[in-house]
Amino acid sequence: MIKEKSAEKPRARELGITFAGLVGANNAITDVPGVEVGYVTKVEGQNIRTGVTAILPRGKAEIGMPCAAAFYSLNGNGEMTGTIWIEESGTLSMPIMITNTHAVGKVHSGVVAWVVEHLPVVAAQWLLPVVAETWDGYLNEINHFSITEEDAKAAIDNAKPGPVEEGSVGGGTGMNCYQYKGGNGTSSRIVKYAEKDYTVGAFVQANFGSRAELTITGVSMADSKIPNPFSEHNWLEVDSAMITPPQGAGSVIVIIASDAPLLPNQCKALAKRVPLGLARTGTAGSHFSGDIFLAFSTANKGSFQSKFPSSNSDKSDYDISRSIPWGEMDSFYTATVQAVEEAVVNALVVNQDMEGRDGHKSYAITREFIESKFKKT
């Protein structure tokens, strides 16, 4: 059975874990002004444990308005659609969706349908949605294809600013991290530059790592006595006559947002720092893990357009934008690393045990185990 989710499940800082850096009001990706997050969570019967996450860089009203953006793949055993155009143009104008591996197509179609319905002028050109995935087939009957286009549309409709629910919700519903119950986590950092406070926010769908690897703020968590069905049973071999995957297999999708004025290649630089934050939590990056990261900047609104040229357009117009000097980027790198590390830990601690398909169980890391490692002296 599934344990009831507690609305009071504490986040990492509330458990006495100390992280560096100054956080935003919600310690979430939505601390970046304009960013909205929405979910559809599907927990049905014994076998369905999945969902969809929508991250809207400029909110619903400004879908189609480009942001500077870039992606980085640490290990490409996964999928994130739309990245060829992001690489070509340095821009992102569609919602970012995260779901399970076998639902990418339905979610992609759902985003297109939503834009056609709500923003027909935007849909008059071309739509290249960003849909990323991690595999939830241990807890979810992934080949049931339970995610629909309507689920993707509803996740966009549900997107809002403010506090972000974490743990087993949305695309993270059936995910596992460090062989504990995993899912979604988020965090943010404030960066001061030129007498202005900018925000860097991180969102993770965490589905990676082995028990022996897990490290929290430098403290090894390898001596856990919490049950670990992933290592105790050859579950995939029993299920499908396939060799059980090695420990550490899985995937992680990370989205980085900032309101700092950044060029596309500076967004790429932030995305490249994501693995450093993940590594702080212990992972070495498995060959069997799809580790794909996307970063965007909401600054320079109105720049980076790719509209069809008009016969009436003023050929003397130029695209004008500003950016943080490259020599001042280090504090934004630090903020990215710190926010990613904390987001992963939040995904672990704001969670609960789950039983899914065919009786498979995933156990959450317990408050007692955390507090035994981080007792205040």
Residue range 312-343, pLDDT digits in tens:
766 667 888 999 999 999 999 999 999 999 99
Q: Which of 93, 187, 289, 297 is catalytic?
A: 289
Dmax (CA) of the chain: 71
Name the one residue in this structure whose structure tokens are 């212990």.
282
Name the one residue in this structure whose structure tokens are 């596309």.
264
DSSP summary character for residue 47: T
Q: Do the domain assignments include residue 7?
A: no
Residue 291 CA to chain centroid, in angstroms? 11
**Calpha distance 377→373 (Å, rounded):** 11
Task: Please state, as a whole number, how many other Cβ atoms lie within 10 Å of the Cβ of residue 122.
Answer: 17
Q: Do the domain assignments include residue 6?
A: no
Q: Do the domain assignments include residue 313?
A: no
pLDDT of 21 above 90: yes
Give how many domains the chain has, as a whole number: 1
pLDDT of 245 above 90: no
Residue 365 CA to chain centroid, in angstroms? 20
**Exposed, middle or buried by CB within 10 Å (0-12, 13-18, 19+), for 74?**
buried
Q: In what side-by-side order are the strands of the sheet with 48-56?
A: 36-44, 48-56, 96-100, 130-134
Question: Which CATH number does the domain housing residue 51 bear?
Answer: 3.60.70.12
pLDDT of 57 above 90: yes
Q: Do the domain assignments include residue 312?
A: no
* Mean predicted confidence (pLDDT) in 172-183: 98
Query: Is 291 noted as a catalytic residue in this protein?
Result: yes
Q: What is the CA radius of gyration of the chain?
A: 20
Q: Do the domain assignments include residue 316?
A: no
Q: Which of 146, 168, 224, 251 is catalytic?
A: 251
* Mean predicted confidence (pLDDT) in 38-49: 98
pLDDT of 366 above 90: yes
The backbone region for 177, taken as left when phi is positive above 0, alpha when psi lies in -120 to 50, beta otherwise, is beta
Q: Do the domain assignments include residue 306?
A: no
- Name the percent of the chain lying above pLDDT 70: 93
Query: Is 251 noted as a catalytic residue in this protein?
Result: yes
β-pairing, 248-258 with 183-193? unpaired
Q: What is the chain's mean pLDDT, rounded? A: 93
* Mean predicted confidence (pLDDT) in 105-124: 97
Q: Mean pLDDT lowest for which of 171-175, 181-185, 243-247, 344-348?
A: 243-247
DSSP SS3 for 185: strand
Q: Do the domain assignments include residue 2?
A: no
DSSP summary character for residue 57: T
pLDDT for position 307: 78
pLDDT for position 200: 99
Cite the DSSP H helix spans in 241-329.
264-280
* Mean predicted confidence (pLDDT) in 292-306: 95
**Calpha distance 1→318 (Å, rounded):** 60
DSSP string, 147-167: --HHHHHHHHHT-BSS----B
Strand partners, 131: 97
Q: Do the domain assignments include residue 264?
A: yes
Asked if 94 contacts 109 with a C-beta cutoff of 8 angstroms, the reply is no
pLDDT for position 314: 63
pLDDT for position 6: 43
Residue range 212-230, pLDDT digits in tens:
999 999 999 999 999 999 8
Residue 6 main-chain phi, psi, to 5 deg: -90, 130
**Calpha distance 67→305 (Å, rounded):** 9
- 306-311 long-range Cβ contacts below 8 angstroms, 24+ apart: 306/66, 306/89, 306/91, 307/125, 308/125
**Calpha distance 228→233 (Å, rounded):** 9
**Calpha distance 199→21 (Å, rounded):** 11
pLDDT of 3 above 60: no
> Of the candidates 202, 206, 133, which has an alpha carbon nearest to the alpha carbon of residue 214?
206
Q: Which of 31, 151, 259, 291 is catalytic?
A: 291
DSSP string, 190-201: EEEETTEEEEEE
pLDDT of 281 above 90: yes
pLDDT for position 236: 61
Residue range 335-358, pLDDT digits in tens:
999 999 999 999 999 999 999 999
Residue 117's domain comprises: 12-300+322-373
pLDDT of 168 above 90: yes
pLDDT for position 248: 75
